[in-house]
Amino acid sequence: MTRANILICIAIAVISISFWALLNQPEDEPAWPSRIQGFSFQPMRAGNDPAKHILPTEAEVDDDLKLLADKTNAVRTYSVEGVLARIPALSRKYGLNVTLGVWLDKDLEKNELEMETAIRVARENYRNVIRVIVGNESIYRNDLTVKELCEYLDRMQAALTVPVSTAEPWHVWYKNPELAQHVDFIAVHMLPYWEGIHLDRAVDYVVDHVTLLQNTFPDKPVVIGEVGWPSNGRTRRSAVASTTNEATFLRRFLARAEELDYIYYVMEAFDQPWKRSSEGAVGAYWGVYDLNRNPKFPFTSPIVDIPEWRVLAVISLVIAIITFALLLIDSRTLRTRGRSFLATIAFAAATAAVWIVYNYSQQYLTVTTVVVGFLMLFGIIGVVIVLLAEAHEWAEALWAAFWRRPFTPVEVTDEALPMVSVHVPAYNEPPEMMIDTLDALARLEYPHYEVIVIDNNTKDPAVWKPVAGHCAKLGPRFRFFHEDQLTGFKAGALNYALARTAPEAEVVAVIDSDYVVTSNWLRDLVPQFTRPSLAIVQAPQDYHDDRDNLFKAMCYAEYRGFFYIGMITRNERNAIIQHGTMTMVRKSALEEVGGWAEWCITEDAELGLKIFEKGYEAIYIAKSYGRGVMPDTFIDFKKQRFRWAYGAVQIMRHHARSLLSRRESKLTSGQRYHFLAGWLPWMADGINLLFTFAALAWSIGMILYPLKVDPPLVILSAMPLALFIFKMAKMFYLYRSRVNATVTQTIASAVAGLSLSHTIAKAILFGFVTKSIPFFRTPKIVRGRAVWHALQSAREEALIMLALLAAAYAVVLRQGSETPDVLVWVMVLLVQSIPYQAAVIMSIISAFAQLPSRLITTITAKPSATSPGGKVDQQSEGSGEALNP
């Protein structure tokens, strides 16, 4: 690294460590008492589940009581099933009192067994069973009516001499005052987390409601049967589940409880993972001790959010520095501002990733959480890689100090110019359009060229014969071929033309049948082939019908981003994507690589990669030399992009060894990077489609099983949101600064681009499970369709859009809108629906061909080919000319 890069790393590292330190400032809280009043006690361990009657051994229960013996005066139990009935006897030898619990639910036969066993156990252990609690939230769960519960209470009071009650949340007691007539004390659960109370108000909330019950039932003592806070799980309104908040709440409460002389049972002694099935993920994390019986937080020393923050900070720094170093490979042209931008992104991404993984690792692992964890890790890696690739392109497009490979005009005399063979493949094209194309070729100001028109498989002679006649009229320089049974689609037609190319031709130029070229196209660009290492000269695709209507104006805005941002940065590392129109290729190189690939539906891009693999160079000139026509309808717009994306997967699969191994080809690292990174957004679209279906399935679970299926963690949901916002910000910034687009054009481009997301996703997924699909051309000059037919072209997108919007609405309806994790998840669903909404919008706009293009400002400004502040155009003379600072 250079000195500047080292200084950038140091500066960002200081900021990053300061950030970690700021978020983990130690907080002083009241010390934990040497002995508390009581613990809620369930001795379940890993693999235990009382709901399935899988209980710990007596020895394990004894070990737990021994651990608590010098830390509490009493324990509260919940059932007398099996070994749980032995708790009072085992507690007695450690001097622990017991509030005996009787579990009641809708199973009346089981209730009778619990009642009988509890009476027996209480009588046998009269020395240390000091209370009996019959039923635990039985009314709150709607397992029993008040009348039914009162009958159980009356029976227990008649059978025993110790105080008897039932345990319910405060509001159940308040709404059912008659219940107090059948108990000896009020056993209340005070769990402010479940009521969404902020940590800073939680202890006062408990005190206020205990006071309310004391005033409501002045002749009954109030015992807090459960009081606590979870260390992990979802956020409920203002209540955040965390180890720090659990420690803070309990240490504050215990200090107040001692002042107010409360009788209480801390909820609870040990974490209980089995509760996830009934209470959601948060149910597992109420223990003061974890599943391995280790304390989860300090009892007397200051509380820190993440005790291991220093280790995590170092890990994130190491990852960030490595990432930053990788981003700077072959980036010597980046200014300090660009390097600082990449460093910031690298450190932010590394910090977020480490934080997410750490946060997720704090939960208990099951088969489900492990599977979800690996999927999450895969998703994080994918998001970070896409984010870094997007950031790298952003930096290089804006903050390059100079162009390494500018287009430099070459002066060559007419006599020294090589012969060019211009190939025009056609299939069922309107003859009037093709005649315009041929007339433009006839006007070329170039001394040595021929034009070969190959019409393949057009059945109607009325379509191709006028073109053949016009070629004859233009003279011997124009040759026309028609074949009825030609295989290989466009690639087959181009190979057919290549075989009939004049032997003396040194350059093959290709244009689509709808392109009208400028007269100086060949004269300006062919001289570049005087460099023996150069095999491809590429000009951008451009269109002359962008002012026909609003739909085409939006498509035009979307196309320009690639040709005036992506292709320019790719050209810096000799890694452009070759296109099948406005392209020139050295004939000998074309023949060396075996011609056009008839197995690939994007034979042009595949050819470019093959030529790069042989070590040849290409040059891109960001200047329009020809204009064609765009798709007339949304369905054709989608088909074109489907072909491009599907072809990309074909190329990746076919050239995987060359792209991934240095031994297989002469590709440079920069070329490999740009080809793989350039396809990443499309790969991300494919994965995002799977994520969309997974999000819908998860949302259905949240709707149908709200207590069992929680929203994903906020920080996980925030990752796709952050990536979407970053990509939109990048697009808006670069379109405004590099393409010179207006705000309306930029928005139009965003809508058009997003409308293709589903199509691209399908193409990517199909590409990985199939080897080939039929080639389909982009129709030219097609009439717009009726609204209903246009909507049919986006029916899949419309259905998914409606499903996402309905899921968002149903989640809010079912789970409320006051909880941050629900709100963030709803935002994820709404953001996921945006590309599908864009598709519906584009389909409707395409149906109204009369909508004028002026609804978005017509693009007239020339795209910029410099970094911000620079004044050097790519066509300027001189290699590596510095830009203005």
Strands 449-456 and 534-538: unpaired
- Closest by CA to 130, choosing from 274, 265, 301, is 265
Tell me how far apart the alpha carbons of residues 114 and 94 are, in angstroms, rounded to a whole number. Answer: 25
3-state secondary structure of 418: coil
Half-sphere exposure of 39 (CA within 13 A, CB side): 23
What's the pLDDT tens digit per position in 507-555? 999 999 999 999 999 999 999 999 999 999 999 999 999 999 999 999 9
Tell me how far apart the alpha carbons of residues 684 and 831 are, in angstroms, rounded to a whole number. Answer: 15
What pLDDT sits at residue 873?
A: 44
Q: Is the dihedral of CA 351, 353, 358, 362 positive or negative?
A: positive
Contact by Cβ (8 Å): 343, 336: no
Residue with tokens 């001189």: 878
What pLDDT sits at residue 332?
A: 85
- Closest by CA to 730, choosing from 565, 593, 848, 585, is 565
Strands 449-456 and 478-483: parallel
Please tell me the chain's helix, strand, coil percentages from 3-state DSSP, rounded to the nearest 5.
Answer: 55, 10, 35
> Is residue 39 packed enough to be buried (19+ CB in 10 Å), middle (13-18) or exposed (0-12)?
buried
Cis peptide before 226 (omega within 30 of 0): no
What pLDDT sits at residue 782?
A: 52
What pLDDT sits at residue 485?
A: 87
| Residue ranges, the chain, pLDDT below 50 | 860-861, 865-885
> Is residue 680 packed enough to be buried (19+ CB in 10 Å), middle (13-18) or exposed (0-12)?
middle
Token pair belonging to 666: 């002469």
Please give the model's pTM, rounded to 2 decimal places: 0.84
Q: What is the dihedral of CA 617, 880, 524, 535, to 10 degrees?
A: 0
> Is residue 873 packed enough to be buried (19+ CB in 10 Å), middle (13-18) or exposed (0-12)?
middle
- Closest by CA to 27, choosing from 193, 251, 286, is 251
- What would you measure as the largest C-alpha separation in the chain, in angstroms? 119
The type of residue at 879 is: S
Question: DSSP secondary structure string, 109-131?
Answer: HHHHHHHHHHHHHHHHTTTTEEE
Contact by Cβ (8 Å): 658, 667: yes
Q: Phi-psi region for residue 488, left (φ > 0), alpha (ψ -120 to 50) or beta?
A: left
Token pair belonging to 225: 């049967």
Kindly give the interhelix angle for 757-769 and 669-704, rounded to the nearest 10 degrees: 110
What's the pLDDT tens digit per position in 175-213? 999 999 999 999 999 999 999 999 999 999 999 999 999
Tell me how far apart the alpha carbons of residues 536 and 608 are, in angstroms, rounded to a whole number. Answer: 8
What pLDDT sits at residue 235?
A: 84
3-state secondary structure of 12: helix
Q: Is the dihedral of CA 173, 174, 178, 182 positive or negative?
A: positive
Q: Which alpha helices (DSSP H) does 779-863 contain, by range?
A: 787-792, 795-815, 820-847
The type of residue at 764 is: I
The type of residue at 863 is: P
What pLDDT sits at residue 286?
A: 97
